[in-house]
Structure 1
Amino acid sequence: MDRAANKSQSKVSTRDDSIVTARVPVEIKRQGNAALKRIGSTPTELINAAYEYVLDHNELPTDRRAVRPGRRELSSDQKSKLMRRGKNMLVKPDGDVLDGCSLKEVLAEMRSADYEALS
């Protein structure tokens, strides 16, 4: 092994680095990695730049001009997850709770009962 290669290896092995783990939506990661590749950068350089920014400015890099204009597309997995969550939020009455009345009438009756209980 030549001297330059040996010197390069010794720098890497004595370096004090750590690994950062983060959760990122799959599509954001895919698009972000493609953008980094286009500009000749890497995820490691991005994370280091973000940490340096926070250290320099004591805040997150949230320049509103940097936010992508337009709509973002959800992955099919994200759409499914939102649908499941939405369905779980719906009120599912047992039997005929409304007993032929409108929801507005039932709510008015419940309010009236509450007011009567206070008097």
Structure 2
Amino acid sequence: MSDLVSARIAPEIRRQGNKVLAQLGSTPSELIRSAYEYVIAKRQLPQVEPGEENRSDAMPDAASLDALVASIAQSTVGVPSSAWDAIDGGDYKAYIAAAREADYEALA
């Protein structure tokens, strides 16, 4: 058996929240259940940082972008344009594996 929870909320917040919940494939009941489980586990209310209330479409800050660029650079294998012609049978995965192996051997 389940209990019914009733709450007052501004109509626009409810409308926007229900829209996001639908996009997530969730329901208001699942949201309330999750909120109760969070409060039980953490012994506090979920907090939204000041100014972060509607930031889901905000651009990441410069430090986050720099970290992303650095991560991509570290995971990129350099391939000279002539290499594609030299790949036997067009097996680029084997070429990339060989390049990574060479990099790993250089670390030893």
Give TM-score, length-normalised by structure 1: 0.43
Q: Which has the larger radius of gyration?
A: 1
Give TM-score, length-normalised by structure 2: 0.47
* Higher relative contact order (Cα pairs below 8 Å, separated by 6+ residues): 1
